[in-house]
Amino acid sequence: MNKPEGTASNIQSTLAENRLFPPPAEFAGKARIDSKRLTELRAEAEKDFVSFWAKLAREELNWKQPFSVTLDDSKAPNYRWFSDGKINVSYNCIDRHLATHGDKPAIIFEGEPGDVATLTYKQLHAEVCKLANGLKSLGVVKGDRVVIYLPMIAQAVIAMQACARIGATHSVVFGGFSAQSLRDRIEGASAKLLITADGGTRGAHVVELKKAVDEALAGGCKCIESVVVYKRTGKPIEWTRGRDVWWHELTEKASATCEPEWVDAEHPLFMLYTSGSTGKPKGIQHSSGGYLLGAHVTSKWVFDLHDADVFWCTADVGWITGHTYIAYGPLSNGATIVMYEGGPMTPDPGRFWKICQDHGVTIFYTAPTAIRALAKMGEQIPKRYDLSKLRLLGSVGEPINPEAWMWYHRVIGKEKLPIVDTWWQTETGAILMSPLPGATATKPGSCTQPLPGIFAEIVDEAGNLIQGNDAGGYLVITRPWPSMLRTVYGDNERYLSTYWSQFGDPLTARAEKRPLLYVAGDSAHRDKDGYYWILGRMDDVLKVAGHRLGTAEVESALVAHPRVAEAAVVGRPHEIKGEGIVAFVICKGERPTGKEAEALSRELREFVSKSMGPIAKPDEIRFTDALPKTRSGKIMRRLLRSVAKDEEITQDVSTLENPGIVDQLRGRA
Ligand code: 7RM
């Protein structure tokens, strides 16, 4: 991991930010958690965090068999929560609401072409049970892995819930990922079955998911036995007999009831691949009971869910945000959610606001990249729509710059609505730091403070806690929490080394009864009021339009091209996407120049887009004869970042193996 770096400008802009927005009195008066209650919850958690979570788990979730052990830390950091309890996530998200909320809409779906479909809790129950029975008829049993590769349609949630119902572990692959990435994830999970669609619509284009599936499975994939295909577009597709099954045929005659499979709280509900510092994405494995508790209580507290709310999270189900705040958390609370299939600019940049208006959205949760893109379109666009039902706004995925925060506050929030800037990760399962909208005064750009039951600290490079406020360094979490990741699928060593070993061996710390530190990988600043400001990643993880990507993944995609000998990829600040990708490439043979360089650059950008998916397409390729390396052979990424930004080089280049290369990198030689 690198030293905290490249964040000087961030620190400056956030330190200069001292506007404070107290929770609106009207909101606070009706909120589930007001500041008095927040203080009580914090005190309870502080006193005994294990009992704090145990009480919530008993009060908020329905258990088939109650747990007697709350936290088993005998194998820390492989913590186990509620381990002798039995539960079913789908039962908690659906069945328990049927008696009181059976006819309440669970999902309001809008397709990009404009088609709308509403599923009540009763209907959702029937659809989930039918698919669950269909999966069982194809031989899926508890513990099997199922890959889900679907557009943003209600069937994605139905599929996830159906897996949860029968105890199958799902692995959702983002529909924007390529056939290659899909194949890696199928094989990584040894999945038995795959659920996809004939296609989806995004940005007025048809996304040919089934075609990517066929490509991923071409040449024989030993593990996949069946492919369930939902008919969304009706466009012709290839069909492999004996393997492919239409969703509607599979479920047509299936029973609309299916007894939930009661699983241990620790049973893996899902895995989700995420990028890190190395080339290979990790399958982050989550539990059933602990994960659901985190998803449930954070949805309730942070989004202040009330019965009449209509909650819209714009994330894709292929990311953790879509898991926790579309498929599980809101449904566990019996809320109504909106799901939208398409892009924010189709047919025009008013689409999000039109959806808010048409479906009476009360809580809107999106990413800074979307806010910046929509802000750029001008405020007259949202002004055309009736946004009067909105009462709460949220942000997630990357630091929100104060300008974007203020636009959100002023133009969408009419200076009246609270904004919750929620910090969390694929690994944390649920929001860990966020304002509570009826209790916390907000500052534009700060995720404020840890939620009750979450213990965050800032440590220096040696792992020493930095006491007091006005501290900067590595963000760590010092006590386990129920929705934390359990392991990296199939690679517990990687779990230990990535998250727990930065400041010494976790197993030694356990033996010596010293606290273990979960290292989030972000650098952060805690200001004089104890508010946290996330400054960015300390490893080689990028956030491109809110999507998490590793530089090493893009590099390995590039070197797979026959002309590429070596590549180094860095992020460069981008006005809308937050970060864009710049690749420095050494070619086999002569370094291309002029027209040849232009053509090859185009080709390589397409090549990456094809092999990883369009989100990974570099903004720029620069050809070079060498990369700046230290004498020990490490690429100086910090230098490359400055070069990519065309900024003055302030780093010491005297330790470089090849100092002369700097001019060439900058296009001056
Ligand atoms: C939910 C999600 C995790 C990384 C994380 C941070 C960054 C996320 C915020 C944020 C500042 C936020 N999961 N991040 N939320 N940074 N403020 N509110 O995004 O696994 O895809 O990414 O995203 O760097 O470590 S993720």
Q: Which residue's CA is the nearest one to ligand 1's atom 13?
A: 425
Residue 72 lies in a domain: no
| Closest of 614, 622, 530 to residue 572, by C-alpha | 622
Query: When comparing pLDDT for 615 and 668, which is higher?
Result: 615
Instruction: State both tokens at 301.
Output: 């507290």
Pocket of ligand 1 (CB under 6 A): 274, 319-321, 396-399, 421-426, 447, 520-522, 534, 537, 543, 548
| Closest of 603, 542, 551, 606 to residue 574, by C-alpha | 542
Across 138-296, where does the E strand assignment appear?
145-149, 169-172, 193-197, 200-202, 205-207, 226-230, 244-246, 263-264, 270-274, 282-286
The predicted pLDDT at position 669 comes to 58
Q: How many CB atoms lie within 10 A of CB 492?
A: 15
Q: Can you count the helices (H) and strands (E) in the chain?
A: 24, 30
CA of residue 536 to ligand 1 center, whole Å:
9
165, containing H or E segment: helix 154-166
Residue 500 pLDDT more than 90?
yes
CA of residue 250 to ligand 1 center, whole Å:
38
**pLDDT tens digits, 97-119:** 999 999 999 999 999 999 999 99
Q: Which residue's CA is the nearest one to ligand 1's atom 11?
A: 399
The predicted pLDDT at position 666 comes to 84
Q: Exposed, middle or buried: residue 307 (CB in 10 Å: 0-12, 13-18, 19+)?
A: exposed
| Angstrom distance (rounded) from CA 47 to CA 490 | 36
Beta-bridge partner residues of 97:
none
Residue 640 lies in a domain: yes
CA-534 nearest atom, ligand 1? 11
The predicted pLDDT at position 6 comes to 38
Q: What phi and psi, each to the nearest 5 degrees, are found at residue 454?
A: -115, 135
Across 451-600, where does the E strand assignment appear?
456-459, 471-477, 487-488, 518-526, 532-537, 541-544, 547-550, 564-574, 578-587
Residue 271 lies in a domain: no
Strands 169-172 and 270-274: parallel
CA of residue 533 to ligand 1 center, whole Å:
12
CA-537 nearest atom, ligand 1? 24
The predicted pLDDT at position 315 comes to 97
As a whole number, the mean pLDDT across the chain is: 94
**pLDDT tens digits, 48-106:** 999 999 999 999 999 999 999 999 999 999 999 999 999 999 999 999 999 999 999 99
State how far Cα 291 lies from the chain centre. Answer: 14
| Angstrom distance (rounded) from CA 433 to CA 438 | 15
Residue 414 lies in a domain: no
Residue 223 lies in a domain: no
Q: Which residue's CA is the nearest one to ligand 1's atom 8?
A: 397
The predicted pLDDT at position 7 comes to 44
The predicted pLDDT at position 314 comes to 98
Counting the structural domains of the chain, the total is 1
| Angstrom distance (rounded) from CA 570 to CA 2 | 14
Q: How many CB atoms lie within 10 A of CB 566?
A: 16
**pLDDT tens digits, 266-313:** 999 999 999 988 778 999 999 999 999 999 999 999 999 999 999 999
Q: Which residue's CA is the nearest one to ligand 1's atom 17?
A: 399
Mean pLDDT of 533-546: 92
CA-423 nearest atom, ligand 1? 18
Residue percentage of the chain with pLDDT more than 70: 97
The predicted pLDDT at position 539 comes to 87
Confidence of residue 430 (pLDDT cuts 50, 70, 90): very high
* Residue 630 structural domain: 541-669
CA of residue 231 to ligand 1 center, whole Å:
34
| Angstrom distance (rounded) from CA 237 to CA 280 | 31
Strands 193-197 and 226-230: parallel
Beta-bridge partner residues of 419:
393
Confidence of residue 3 (pLDDT cuts 50, 70, 90): very low
Q: Is 181 within 8 Å of 214 (Cβ atoms)?
A: no
Amino acid identity at 485 = L
Query: When comparing pLDDT for 628 and 420, which is higher?
Result: 420
**pLDDT tens digits, 191-243:** 999 999 999 999 999 999 999 999 999 977 889 999 999 999 999 999 999 99
| Angstrom distance (rounded) from CA 374 to CA 351 | 10
The predicted pLDDT at position 219 comes to 79
| Angstrom distance (rounded) from CA 637 to CA 1 | 12
CA of residue 532 to ligand 1 center, whole Å:
13
Amino acid identity at 166 = I
Residue 655 pLDDT more than 90?
no
Residue 582 pLDDT more than 80?
yes
135, containing H or E segment: helix 121-137
Q: Helix, strand or coil for residue 630?
A: strand
| Angstrom distance (rounded) from CA 598 to CA 447 | 42
CA-399 nearest atom, ligand 1? 11
Q: How many CB atoms lie within 10 A of CB 654?
A: 6
CA-541 nearest atom, ligand 1? 24
Residue 602 lies in a domain: yes
Q: What is the CATH number of the domain that holds 613?
A: 3.30.300.30
Q: Helix, strand or coil for residue 588?
A: coil
Residue percentage of the chain with pLDDT more than 90: 88
Confidence of residue 2 (pLDDT cuts 50, 70, 90): very low
Q: Which pTM does this prediction carry? A: 0.94
Residue 151 lies in a domain: no
Q: Pick from 369, 396, 427, 483 the residue to mutate for probing ligand 1's pocket: most ligand atoms within 8 Å of its CB.
A: 396
CA-319 nearest atom, ligand 1? 21
CA of residue 155 to ligand 1 center, whole Å:
26
CA of residue 75 to ligand 1 center, whole Å:
28
Q: Exposed, middle or buried: residue 61 (CB in 10 Å: 0-12, 13-18, 19+)?
A: buried
Q: Is 301 within 8 Å of 42 (Cβ atoms)?
A: no
Cis peptide before 77 (omega within 30 of 0): yes
Residue 13 pLDDT more than 70?
no
Q: How many CB atoms lie within 10 A of CB 248?
A: 12
Query: When comparing pLDDT for 655 and 106, which is higher?
Result: 106
- Lowest pLDDT segment from 12-16, 25-29, 353-357: 12-16
Residue 601 lies in a domain: yes
CA-546 nearest atom, ligand 1? 19
